[in-house]
Amino acid sequence: MTLGHDTRRLLAGPTLDGDPERYPAHIARLGALRAGAADRDIIGSLEASGLLGRGGAGFPVGRKWRALADRGGKSSAVVVANGAEGEPASHKDRILMAHRPHLVIDGAILAAEAIGADEIVFYVGREHEAALSAMKSAIAERKADLGRRAKLVQAPLGYVAGEATAVVNAINTGKGKPTTVPPRVSERGVGKKPTLVQNVESLAYAALIARYGDAWYRTAGRLGSKGTALVTVSGAVKDAGVWEIELGTPVGEVAEEAGATVARTRAVLLGGYFGTWANASDAWALPMDPATMKSAGLAFGCGLLWLLPTASCGVWATAQIMEYLADASAAQCGPCLFGLRAIADANTRLAAGRPTAGDLALIERLIPQTVGRGACHHPDGAVQLMASALHVFGEDFAHHARTGVCLVTSTPTGVR
């Protein structure tokens, strides 16, 4: 589904549904990549387009590619198309791979030629069966383009398996756990080669920009934002799913197109499990733009909107997320092994109506003690979510702590 702008040449074009798009249909819809598109010119186009990475961090794609292309020594490199998508509430990457696999392959080929890579790895979450099947078939269709330099690797189950160092570790050893840096994966990654780990949506947009140019990409977007993005909309909506929106589209417009109303929405989870909660009344007019959201202390993240129904408990919904994140950690360092576990346990006791003295104070004390101390960013993302919950649902947390009773409901709602 789309919101705004011409849908004929955008990623969804026109919708992300039906059977996987075969290569002849892909070419008929979009045309072949122009001759010479897969050279250094694409990096300049990506930089001019303003395309940001769609894996959650939002790093400029062109700058990331140029750093690999300009590396010293010119040793061979590797491109990893990252489709792990371990975020339980996000479905955009798996939907994209299941229905537009050749756009992902186009982007990976462009990246490989632009940075001088001799190997491409398509890294797909093993639980995403439709995506795996579509990517396998599409890779087989593209033997002439890919040759023997491409392979498909099933990402291990787990939230952290999509983190860049965990991606490389999984491909190298089969263990999808983050490793310490330095060295960065761009310096030593898959097979000890410099490695570009790029989200599959980012690669798909790169393939479109290579066809139509950076000026075309910039014609979409509102309020100064440039381009479009895939977002997952779920929770208190009638029509949950993956939507393609113009960046800068207000949260409320997206939500209402999916059948939600502000009157029936208490809060909105923005950006995913590493994102932030916001009151519905505050979020409704908020432009879905990474820079605007960041300046407001909120997160675009993986492009997710999950709407909490009015008569639902934010303490319980947050507890479900924190339990998941504590369980999903690699358990390799103290901030996750002890800090996140303690926060999650205290939150669960509060949500379940069996608080112990000091649970709320414990959470508030551990948040600043956990930030920036992990081997990866897992604890940082988790406590960012927790801190936003205390802000949005502060009265609820306090009432749970004092009385063991929920202010709004006896029917918990979990975020999935």
**DSSP assignment, residue 266?**
E
Question: Do 261 and 327 have their domain in common?
Answer: no
Question: Do 289 and 337 have their domain in common?
Answer: no
Question: Do 188 and 242 have their domain in common?
Answer: no
Which is it for the CA torsion 12, 137, 194, 157, positive or negative? positive
Count of Cβ atoms closer than 10 Å to residue 294 Cβ: 12
Question: Do 78 and 177 have their domain in common?
Answer: yes
Inside any domain, residue 267:
yes
Question: Do 122 and 181 have their domain in common?
Answer: yes
Q: Say whether pLDDT at 154 is over 50.
A: yes
Contacts of 251 (CB under 8 A, 6+ apart): 268, 270, 283, 284, 285, 286, 287, 288, 305
CATH number at residue 305: 3.10.20.600
Boundary-marking domain end, from 275, 309, 343: 309
pLDDT per residue as tens digits for the range 343-373 = 999 999 999 999 999 999 999 999 998 887 7
Alpha-carbon torsion angle 56, 57, 63, 65, nearest 10: -50
The pLDDT of residue 12 is 52
Give the CA angle between residues 42, 44, 47 to the nearest 5°.
110
Question: Do 298 and 322 have their domain in common?
Answer: no
Q: Say whether pLDDT at 35 is over 90.
A: no
Inside any domain, residue 409:
no
Which helix H or strand E contains 3, and what residues bound it?
A: strand 2-3
Question: Do 200 and 252 have their domain in common?
Answer: no
Domain containing residue 157: 2-218
Q: Say whether pLDDT at 9 is over 50.
A: no
Alpha carbons 2 and 212: distance in angstroms, whole number: 19
**DSSP assignment, residue 319?**
H
Inside any domain, residue 321:
yes
CATH number at residue 11: 3.40.50.11540
Structural domain count, the chain: 3
Question: Do 27 and 101 have their domain in common?
Answer: yes
**DSSP assignment, residue 335?**
I
How many angstroms from the chain centroid is the CA of residue 50? 18
- For the chain, the residue count is 416
Pull the structure tokens for residue 144.
């002439």
Inside any domain, residue 30:
yes
CATH number at residue 385: 1.20.1440.230
Boundary-marking domain end, from 218, 246, 266: 218
Question: Do 318 and 302 have their domain in common?
Answer: no
Question: Do 63 and 117 have their domain in common?
Answer: yes
SS3 201: helix
Alpha-carbon torsion angle 134, 136, 141, 145, nearest 10: 120
Count of Cβ atoms closer than 10 Å to residue 156 Cβ: 20
Q: Which of 67-71, 289-293, 331-335, 396-400 has the lowest mean pLDDT?
A: 331-335
Question: Do 208 and 66 have their domain in common?
Answer: yes
Give the CA angle between residues 12, 289, 228 to the nearest 5°.
20
Exposed, middle or buried by CB within 10 Å (0-12, 13-18, 19+), for 109? buried
Rounded percentage of the chain residues whose pLDDT exceeds 70: 91
The pLDDT of residue 181 is 78
Question: Do 146 and 106 have their domain in common?
Answer: yes
Inside any domain, residue 412:
no
pLDDT per residue as tens digits for the range 84-121 = 999 999 999 999 999 999 999 999 999 999 999 999 99
The pLDDT of residue 200 is 97
Region of 313 on the Ramachandran plot (φ > 0 left; ψ -120 to 50 alpha; else beta)? beta
Instruction: Give the helix, strand, coil percentages of the chain, each rounded to 5.
Output: 45, 15, 40
Inside any domain, residue 238:
yes
Question: CA of 55: how far to CAs of 61, 198, 200, 360, 382, in Å?
Answer: 11, 8, 8, 32, 16
Question: CA of 241: how far to CAs of 148, 187, 259, 308, in Å?
Answer: 36, 37, 11, 16
Inside any domain, residue 410:
no
- Cβ proximity of 242 and 54 under 8 Å: no
Per the prediction, the chain carries an average pLDDT of 89
Inside any domain, residue 411:
no
Alpha carbons 94 and 91: distance in angstroms, whole number: 6
* DSSP secondary structure of 71-122: -GGG--EEEEEEE----TT--HHHHHHHH-HHHHHHHHHHHHHHHTEEEEEE
Boundary-marking domain end, from 277, 309, 341: 309
Q: At what angle do helices 101-115 and 23-30 cross, to 10 degrees?
A: 80
Alpha-carbon torsion angle 329, 290, 194, 154, nearest 10: 50
